[in-house]
Amino acid sequence: MQLQLVVVETGQTWRRALLRMVWDPKNATNHSDYGSFERQGSSSSSSSNNLSEDNKQLRALPLSPLHSQEPTTSSMSDTDLIQRQPLLPLPAKNGHHITVEYEEGPDDHSEDDGRSAGGKANGVVKINITKTDREEQRYPKEKWKTLMAFFCFCFGFVMSTASLSLTHERVPDRDTYPPLPDISFEILPEVRGALDVSEIVIMISTNTAFLVMIFHKHRFIVLRRMFLIVSLLYLMRSVTMYVTVLPMSNTYYYCSPKSNGTTTPWLLATRVWQLMSGFGLSINGKHTYCGDFIYSGHTVVLVISYLFINEYSPDSPKRLFQLLSWLSFVSSGVAIFMVVLARGHYTIDILIAYFVTTRTFWIYHTLANNASLKKSGPHNYLARAWWFPIFRYFEGNVGVKVPRQHEWPLPWPRRFLHKPPNRNS
């Protein structure tokens, strides 16, 4: 429809210009840019005698104002002007400019944009585009943010162990307060060695999830998300375990003696260091403080390991990593079941841990994968989460969903690399 309007508006001028572009010989003696026009009396007048009468009339068309000939009073349509213009610099996009330069060819010796005195033009148009890394723009590494997320993870872990050290002093005496009624305890038998099996599965699951993240192409983004989500979960757990202290769920677990109200900063720091040195596990004999029930830390680690393996494992070979995801799901379920058999936690601890972990993970990734949800507004209720400002700082520059792409993380051996390593990364 737009072309029809142009034809009606320009009339005979458009048809004549089109015929001129088709029938006019494009050689160096006439012009050097496609679609330009010559007037009568130019250097090509001798050859125009051989043309038909219509073509001679077409040669009387005025020159483009872009050329350096004397001005003319003839009119020119916008379409003719556009066709006679040289390449112009493209507009800036995202702050990166695209420039156009003209280089003289081997036969060019003049200074008039590659046009020699005899009209021969071998000029080369060179387009210089500022080198940009589109992958880096869409998935910025931002290593300093990953480091800050690691510090947040350490802070959350320290707060959780400090809360456990204080909660240990408030645990009810097991001789006076028996375990609370629990439907799982009434149905399932007690197996004392089951907690060790659960913690072995925890170590395998966490190492597997860590390898998946290390081999991910955008490992800094994935690690940053893992550090931040786990730190949020442990910060919330440090509050819930302290505000409500439940009686011991078993009768055989060893608890260190209490300080009887004389908890000093030095004693608190000693307990925190002991728990952190054992990574919060009882299998190494370092977890001897009781009261960390609501909610289950074992369940948090098992569920979050499965969620990261399922979300960021490679797409190919598909069957292999589908099997890995299913094995992680089954092993996590078995390990949680072992926690119940060992009476390490009440059933309510496990249910709350599953609910909080999955919802935090899903809400975080929903916000991260939708750019419109990264802005707070009256209709974005997800932005009302207390940790939303923290999330927006760490995820503000990640534009789209992180793909399941993996690569060899080391610069050696080179046979494992699909392309030469990026020395600037």
Q: Which residues are catalytic?
A: 298, 345, 349
C-beta of residue 339 within 8 angstroms of C-beta of residue 298: yes
Q: Which residue has the tokens 């996009």?
A: 93
ω into 346 cis (within 30 of 0): no
Q: CA angle, corner 75, sides to 70 and 80, nearest 5?
A: 95
Q: CA angle, corner 59, sides to 53 and 62, nearest 5?
A: 145
C-beta of residue 158 within 8 angstroms of C-beta of residue 238: no
Residue 292 neighbours by CB under 8 Å, 6+ apart = 160, 164, 167, 237, 241
Residue 271 neighbours by CB under 8 Å, 6+ apart = 161, 164, 165, 168, 289
CA distances from 325 to 52, 170, 217, 252, 353 (A): 78, 40, 19, 35, 20
| Residues in a beta bridge with 126 | 101
| Residues in a beta bridge with 127 | 100
What number of residues does the chain have? 425
CA distances from 66 to 88, 124, 287 (A): 12, 19, 83
408's tokens: 């060899």
Rounded CA-CA distance 216/64 in Å is 57
Rounded CA-CA distance 77/69 in Å is 18
Sheet containing strand 124-129, strands side by side: 90-93, 96-103, 124-129
